[in-house]
Amino acid sequence: MEQQKLPNSTLILVFGILSIVTCCCYGIFGLLFGIIALVLANKANALYLENPEMYTDISNVKTGKILAIIGIVLSVLTLLYFIWIISYFGMDVLQDEELMREKIEELLGQ
């Protein structure tokens, strides 16, 4: 029996990398890529465990899964940070440069 690559193994790796790279985009894109990579990695891992001698590239799946978990954690932290900024300052302060300058000076005690 000839070995074949696990389905979506390269895609899982790419999505894991993208989840880390895009975690700074308000956390949403990194979260999306990370969740998709995790779901695909779990499916590929289950397929591999059914018949391990038939498939290769399990290392790509494991690496992609680890990167996806890291990307999800960073994305959640980024998302929480932006939510905190919006709730602390408010949208009107974030949209007006003068109000923002006043709020920052107030924080610094000047």
User: pLDDT tens, 48-69?
Assistant: 999 889 998 899 999 999 999 9
The pLDDT tens digits of the residues spanning 3-17 come to 898 889 999 999 999
Supply the pLDDT for residue 95: 86
**What is the value of pTM for the model shown?**
0.85
Task: Return the percentage of the chain with pLDDT > 90, whole number.
Answer: 60
**Tokens (6 digits) for 52:** 């391990």
Higher pLDDT, 30 or 2: 30
Q: Locate all alpha helices (DSSP H) within 2-110, ordered by sequence.
A: 9-21, 28-50, 58-89, 91-95, 97-108
Supply the pLDDT for residue 66: 97
